[in-house]
Amino acid sequence: MDIPGFGTLDLDHVVLDFNGTIAEDGELLPGVAERIRALAKTMNVCVVTADTHGTCADKLNGLPCRVSVIGAGDEAHAKLKYVRSLGAERCAAFGNGANDGLMLKDCALGVAVVQTECACAQTIAAADMVATSIDNGLDLLLRPARLLAGLRR
């Protein structure tokens, strides 16, 4: 998709943070599983997380996504390294925490998600777009005209 004033988006991967982004207090949010299934038809869906509550693998079991749990310590750079290993220029990333800002800034499309668990101000500043729910955020990829409307200059 060519977005005037923003550039061309040619995305192969969607990278999702878990807690605060697609889950609340370790529980997958309603609507997320359906959207992951829909996105997986055209993109690789990846979840990269520090897994605060230790529930990520269980909650995503059976969904068409790759789960990568990163260790404690310098999580922001671990997530950045992860998206770079995929090719950040072909990734859309979604997150809310301080450890998500670098990956959102480096990816072709970074979306900060502000929900019940709130979001880090620096992460919001690093994003290309801000979504008021993960449903709204993922729908940007499922209904790309919304990206065009929000990003063109």
Residue 40 half-sphere exposure toward CB, CA atoms < 13 A: 15
- Fill in the amino acid letter for 110: G
Contact 103, 83 (CB under 8 A): yes
The answer as to whether 78 is a domain residue is yes
Q: What is the pTM of this model?
A: 0.97
CA 4 to chain CA centroid, nearest Å: 23
Q: Is residue 89 part of a domain?
A: yes
Report the CATH number that the domain containing residue 32 is assigned in CATH. 3.40.50.1000
In a domain, 152, yes or no: no
Q: Give the number of domains in the chain.
A: 1
How many CB atoms lie under 10 A from the CB of residue 1? 14
Structural domain boundaries enclosing 97: 2-146
The verdict on residue 60 lying in a domain is yes
Residue 57 lies in a domain: yes
Quote the tokens at residue 104. 């959102």
111 in a domain, yes or no?
yes
The answer to whether residue 61 sits within a structural domain is yes
Per-residue pLDDT of the chain (153 residues; tens, 9 = 90+): 999 999 999 999 999 999 999 999 999 999 999 999 999 999 999 999 999 899 999 999 999 999 999 988 889 999 999 999 999 999 999 999 999 999 999 999 999 999 999 999 999 999 999 999 999 999 999 999 999 999 999
Domain-embedded: residue 151: no
